[in-house]
Amino acid sequence: MSNNKTVIITGASSGLGFAMAKAFLDLGYNVVGNARTQERLDAAAAELGNPDRFLGVAGDISLPETAERLLDHALEAFGKVDVLVNNAGIFVARDFVDFTAAEIDSVIDTNLRGFIYPTQVVARHMISRNEGSIVNVTASVGMQPDRNVPGTMAVLTKGGLNAVTRGLSIELSRHNVRVNAVAPGVIDTPMHSPETHEFLSRLNPAGRLGTPEEIAEAVVYLAQASFINGVVLPVDGGGTAGRW
């Protein structure tokens, strides 16, 4: 049953985004999901099994016209947007000095432009309605770099999103629009091959990888927590808590 609320989720066809789509659908939300290809969105829709409440809109989220189409399709199908989840992101495990120009462009396109354009478009809509919630998916390594993880480009881009989450929360608060972030640690997704799991599980005191469902749970919580604003919530098994 629909609760008449609508969420846009970028990077929704697999991994964390797919788990978020399922979690919001289970709560009765309408979900507008974005991914690069319609084929992946159609496959996700078939697995999610909510054809009346899941709408896939394909396109490169680093392009402003994709963000415009996302909002247009959401409004046409469901009338309004209550929540935006900026989930699309990539991580390249490479020493900073070894990044190629193409890799740098790819990380900046997805992690930064993929946040900027949908946030601009949807925030304008939320301002006009005087309500809304934006949740950014960042990375705990952006809060506490680790010499065992070659992730300086993630520190640069996702750490920037952690900072802008706080700044934008203040800017939009007068319009009753909240902005928060979830900062995942290492999560069990196809991004990490099974042979790396033993090493990766030692990067937090919990001694295991997180699950996509645990990230989705945190995103849903922040999306609905009406008196929480400007928070960056690490969901990383305690990895940013200190040394262990």
Report phi then psi at 123, rounded to 5.
Answer: -60, -40
Closest C-alpha to 149, from 239, 29, 223, 87? 239
CA of 170: how far to CAs of 132, 142, 176, 177, in Å? 14, 21, 10, 9
Largest interatomic CA distance in the chain: 51
**Separation of alpha carbons 102 and 107, rounded Å:** 9
Predicted TM-score (pTM) of the model is 0.96
Residue 191 is predicted with a pLDDT of 78
Closest C-alpha to 16, from 210, 223, 215? 215
pLDDT in tens, the chain (244 residues): 568 999 999 999 999 999 999 999 999 999 999 999 999 999 999 999 989 999 999 999 999 999 999 999 999 999 999 999 999 999 998 999 999 999 999 999 999 999 999 999 999 999 999 999 999 999 999 999 988 889 999 999 999 999 999 999 999 999 999 999 999 999 998 778 888 999 899 999 999 999 999 999 999 999 999 999 999 999 999 999 988 7
Q: Thinking of the domain 6-235, which architecture would CATH place it in?
A: 3-Layer(aba) Sandwich (3.40)
User: Cα-Cα-Cα-Cα dihedral of 215, 216, 218, 222, to 10°?
Assistant: 140
117, two tokens:
């354009």
Cα–chain center distance at 244: 28
Edge to edge, the sheet with strand 177-184 lists 54-58, 30-35, 6-10, 83-86, 132-137, 177-184, 232-235
Residue 1 is predicted with a pLDDT of 58
**Separation of alpha carbons 96 and 32, rounded Å:** 35
Enumerate the domain spans of the chain: 6-235
**Separation of alpha carbons 20 and 26, rounded Å:** 10
SS3 label, residue 92: coil
**Separation of alpha carbons 43 and 203, rounded Å:** 33
How many alpha carbons lie under 13 Å from residue 130 in its C-beta half-sphere? Answer: 1
